[in-house]
Amino acid sequence: MRRKIAFSLVFGIATVLAGGLCAGAQRADQAWLKYRPLSKRLSVPMRVEVMGQRRIERSAASELVRGLRSLAGESSSDAGPDSIVLATVEELTREKRKSIVPTLEPDEFQISWSRDQSLRELDIVGGSDRGLLYGVFALLRHLAEGADMSRAVLRERPAMAIRWVDQWDNADGSVERGYAGSSIFFEGGKVRDDLRPVAEYARLLASVGINGCNVNNVNNAAPFLNSEMIRGLALVADAMRPWGVRLAMSVDVASPQKIGGLATYDPLDPAVKAWWNAKVNEIYALIPDFAGFTVKADSEGQPGPASYGRTPADAANTLAIALAPHGGVVLYRAFVYNHHLDWNDPKADRARAAYDIFHPLDGKFAQNVIVQTKEGPIDFQVREPVSPLFGGLTQTSQAMEVQITQEYTGQQRHVVYLAPLWKQVLDFDMRVEGSTTLVRNLIARKGGGMVGVSGVGRDAWLGSPLAMANLYAFGRLAWDPNLAPEEIAREWTGQTIGNDPDVVRTVGKMLMQSWPAYEDYTGPLGLQTLTDITGSHYGPGIEGSENNGWGQWHRADHEGVGMDRSVATGTGYAGQYPPEVAKEYESAATTPDALLLFFHHVPYTYKLDSPGFGGKTVIQYLYDSHYRGAAQAAEFVRDWETLKGKIDPALYDNVLPRLEYQAGHAIVWRDAVVQYFLKLSGIPDAQGRAGKYPGRMEAEDARLDGYQVVDVMPWEDASRGKAVRCDQKEPLQEGKQRSCSAEWMYEGAAGRFDVAVQYFDLQGGAAKFALTVNGRAAGANASWVGDAMLPTRRLHGDNSTRHVVQGVALKPGDVIRVEGTPDANDPAALDYVEVVPAGSDPH
Ligand code: GCW
């Protein structure tokens, strides 16, 4: 029997692969594919045999060998006579290898034990070579988590056909909304020469079942259809193909005019159609398995069919007809809206746009068009209702777009595990025609699925190690939306950080608490993220979303807050849902409190009544949630500290300062939102915290030498709206550091305290700071450099940063002094210092 096996591998390959990657290269094992040695013998054979020789099968075999060898660690030399056999259904049938061959769909796999005479075999059978690869990754995942596979039988297939990540990478190497360095795909207007990171990325994606990757930004996509770029993209496709990840690209519908030299891009013009046909043929000649196009049109300045009075269906179908003979698809984004809305018009509502535009087109799209809709009607906010369009396109294939890169959820500087948010959307019951209609089933129909905007870059994929849980979870949920976010967190932690039960429990708890915490300290009750939507989308900017055309409004005034989207008195958005859901959202009393202010404008004194909202008034809930969220962020630091000695020290040291930073920035958020609503509503905090900061000494009240008092914009981003900056205009004297100082006389009780210094860390310079008490360094870390790369190049909540010096002995009359030395564009600006009981502040 064994002789029939076309190709047999026993180790060796792992060494070859490892040798092929130079030291320092970006690798998948920086993420979850670590295969850390287990302390026990593996429960599966160490010998690997593969029946076929296709490229993906070779990847599967080499991955398995590499994984087994690494997991087995010391005991890896003991191969034994049993084997793992890898085969596709087709190979088994052809070779008559087994008496019973399972019937499997292409991406499906089955893992089961069998006997070949006296030997045991673990068979991994795929419906296709890709199914086989997924089976290998599933086995390795279970082993890495420490599972006993000695009797395992597994059979799985993906819930959805489309399981794609989208990159928003530009040809110059920048990544729109990317927070992890420059593009792994492009540089200097071209595809990069070194595509090894792309292959490693594809390996990572395949390990969680992702089967497509769109590599370029939906904005400014026209140059990507130039012939030279297509040749480069063919190399990208080659790099991903061994892992079953098909290349897709974003296209600009005006390309026939912009790069094709036609006078028009009207999708119904015969010359335009012919241009697209020829372009698509050119692509398929080089990339035979090309997956398809993603389109952003008539949105945020991108050209679109509206210029010719045509519909999105007209534009989508022209592309779809060109792609259809090759098996390609069009993902047409429903993110189409007018960003010049009239803020003074109480009926204007951006949330309505996708449904208003796309619902009337249901049934008008070609078979291979998939309408791709963001999970919520606005834009990846910390919380939104589910887009009603999912219930409004019953004849059309649909994909749900989520954002892995954390544009509005902390930009990877904050830990925010998004699986619970996505899961809530997937599990939402639209009640189409009055019966159970889960969003996850709506998108799984007719070849639809999920698309995650990924934003990986050259900085360890997503920059922050814990952010990788989101990429992992995205793939797992697209594969199986029944998985619970807790379970996914456990899987990810076990593979990435460690199987120690304390580690799995602690990291799982942190991940699960992270989205609620972020919501609490940014924008609860359906207010959305409350960030400056015309700027970086990062720090607090409560008013920034109002009074402009972008439509991310919350309509807060002196009396109340929230946007009336009811049918009776508001914009009518609530009426876009099927009747049962529409009815629930129509009245404030039945709208879940978590979404109350998305749907209704209510007085600050309105009483919340959902479980967990404690019968509080809206204003009190705003105060309380912000204090609770910031306290939770501080807790993450303490949680992580319990892992010291239990996890990889490099990972420990990498993550700890990020969590400390997050805890400090959560305070910036808390104070901004709280003081904003305190001022606007005039209603005091029943718990007496809002606007009162015991132990806080404002920079503008200090004895200043060189520092100038300035107003911060928006005012709520600084304590009491003011800060000081060190701008010394006179020329420097030789050898003399130009620095400024702020001094306060301490008047509190004697004791040991933590002293927090709130400063603004501007890009374009690395200002130095030193904290002294009576002229002496206040502690071990009392001198530091503000060299972080934070958004916004002026004093702002984006860059307001907290530095804590612990255990400082203070007595009345002591002089606390901060000396700031500016550097280039960083004026060493200060907001305040705060003396808090030792151990109460994250450090
Ligand atoms: O969220 C917004 C982003 C834009 C993005 C756009 C979109 C690619 O701020 O950067 O553009 O959505 O999804 O098209």
Is the distance from CB of 376 to CB of 401 less than 8 angstroms? no
Q: Going by CA atoms, what residue is nearest to atom 2 of ligand 1? A: 379
Categorize the per-residue pLDDT at 735 as very low, low, confident or very high, splitting at 50, 70 and 90. low
Q: What is the pLDDT of residue 264?
A: 98
**pLDDT 10s digits, 165-192:** 999 999 999 999 999 999 999 999 999 9
Categorize the per-residue pLDDT at 612 as very low, low, confident or very high, splitting at 50, 70 and 90. confident
* C-alpha 398 to ligand 1 mean position (Å): 19
Query: What is d(CA 324, CA 106) in angstroms, rounded to the nearest whole number?
Result: 20
* C-alpha 810 to ligand 1 mean position (Å): 49
**pLDDT 10s digits, 697-708:** 999 999 999 999
**pLDDT 10s digits, 337-354:** 999 999 999 999 999 999
Q: Looking at the predicted structure, is the pLDDT value of residue 197 above 80?
A: yes
- On average, the pLDDT of the chain sits at 94
Which pair of tokens denotes residue 345?
């018009």
* C-alpha 294 to ligand 1 mean position (Å): 14
Query: What is d(CA 292, CA 750) in angstroms, rounded to the nearest whole number?
Result: 68
Query: What is d(CA 85, CA 124) in angstroms, rounded to the nearest whole number?
Result: 6
- Mutating to test ligand 1, I would choose from 176, 375, 552 the residue with most ligand atoms within 8 A of its C-beta, which is 176
Is the distance from CB of 109 to CB of 126 less than 8 angstroms? yes
- Mutating to test ligand 1, I would choose from 169, 175, 219, 384 the residue with most ligand atoms within 8 A of its C-beta, which is 219
User: Is beta strand 800-810 parallel, antiparallel or unpaired with respect to 751-760?
Assistant: antiparallel
Question: CA-based angle 210:460:140, to the nearest 5?
Answer: 45
* C-alpha 652 to ligand 1 mean position (Å): 33
- Annotated catalytic, 727? no
Query: What is d(CA 54, CA 464) in angstroms, rounded to the nearest whole number?
Result: 35
Burial class from Cβ neighbours inside 10 Å (0-12, 13-18, 19+) for residue 43 reads: middle
- Annotated catalytic, 57? no
Q: Looking at the predicted structure, is the pLDDT value of residue 217 above 90?
A: yes
Q: What is the mean pLDDT of residues 568-573?
A: 98
Q: What are phi and psi of 599, to 5 degrees?
A: -105, -20
DSSP character string of 230-241:
HHHHHHHHHHHG
Atom of ligand 1 nearest to the CA of 299: 14
* C-alpha 514 to ligand 1 mean position (Å): 24
* C-alpha 380 to ligand 1 mean position (Å): 9
Query: What is d(CA 558, CA 677) in angstroms, rounded to the nearest whole number?
Result: 9
- Mutating to test ligand 1, I would choose from 296, 300, 333, 537 the residue with most ligand atoms within 8 A of its C-beta, which is 300
Q: What is the pLDDT of residue 78?
A: 65
**pLDDT 10s digits, 508-539:** 999 999 999 999 999 999 999 999 899 999 99
Beta strands in 620-763 (DSSP E): 696-698, 703-705, 707-711, 722-726, 740-745, 751-760
- Mutating to test ligand 1, I would choose from 177, 453, 529 the residue with most ligand atoms within 8 A of its C-beta, which is 177
Sequence-distant (6+) residues with CB within 8 A of 193 are none
Q: Looking at the predicted structure, is the pLDDT value of residue 730 above 70?
A: no
| Active-site choice (78, 148, 194, 300) | 300
* C-alpha 519 to ligand 1 mean position (Å): 21
Q: Going by CA atoms, what residue is nearest to atom 1 of ligand 1? A: 379
Q: What is the pLDDT of residue 80?
A: 80
Q: What is the pLDDT of residue 288?
A: 98
Is the distance from CB of 250 to CB of 233 less than 8 angstroms? no
Atom of ligand 1 nearest to the CA of 401: 13
* C-alpha 296 to ligand 1 mean position (Å): 10
- Mutating to test ligand 1, I would choose from 379, 454, 552 the residue with most ligand atoms within 8 A of its C-beta, which is 379
* C-alpha 447 to ligand 1 mean position (Å): 25
Which pair of tokens denotes residue 47?
């010998």
Categorize the per-residue pLDDT at 610 as very low, low, confident or very high, splitting at 50, 70 and 90. confident
Q: Looking at the predicted structure, is the pLDDT value of residue 657 above 60?
A: yes
Atom of ligand 1 nearest to the CA of 296: 14
CA 368 vs. chain centroid, Å, equals: 28
Q: Going by CA atoms, what residue is nearest to atom 12 of ligand 1? A: 379
| Active-site choice (49, 166, 375, 379) | 379
Q: Going by CA atoms, what residue is nearest to atom 13 of ligand 1? A: 335
**pLDDT 10s digits, 663-677:** 999 999 999 999 999
- Annotated catalytic, 660? no
Percent of the chain, pLDDT > 70?
95
Q: Which residues line ligand 1 (CB under 6 A)?
A: 168, 176-177, 217-219, 296, 300, 335, 379-380, 407
Q: Going by CA atoms, what residue is nearest to atom 11 of ligand 1? A: 219
Q: Going by CA atoms, what residue is nearest to atom 3 of ligand 1? A: 177
Q: Looking at the predicted structure, is the pLDDT value of residue 77 above 70?
A: no
Q: What is the mean pLDDT of residues 227-236?
A: 98
Atom of ligand 1 nearest to the CA of 217: 8
Interaxial angle between packed helices 501-521 and 419-426, expressed in degrees from 0 to 180 and rounded to the nearest 10: 70
pTM: 0.96
| Active-site choice (407, 520, 564, 841) | 407
Q: Looking at the predicted structure, is the pLDDT value of residue 22 above 60?
A: no
* C-alpha 792 to ligand 1 mean position (Å): 18
Q: How far is CA 729 from CA 188, 216, 739, in A?
A: 38, 45, 12
Q: Looking at the predicted structure, is the pLDDT value of residue 200 above 90?
A: yes
Atom of ligand 1 nearest to the CA of 380: 1
Task: Tell me which of 84-98, 165-179, 433-447, 547-561 is least confident.
Answer: 84-98
Q: What is the pLDDT of residue 8?
A: 46
Categorize the per-residue pLDDT at 731 as very low, low, confident or very high, splitting at 50, 70 and 90. low
HSE toward the beta carbon, residue 265, CA cutoff 13 A: 24
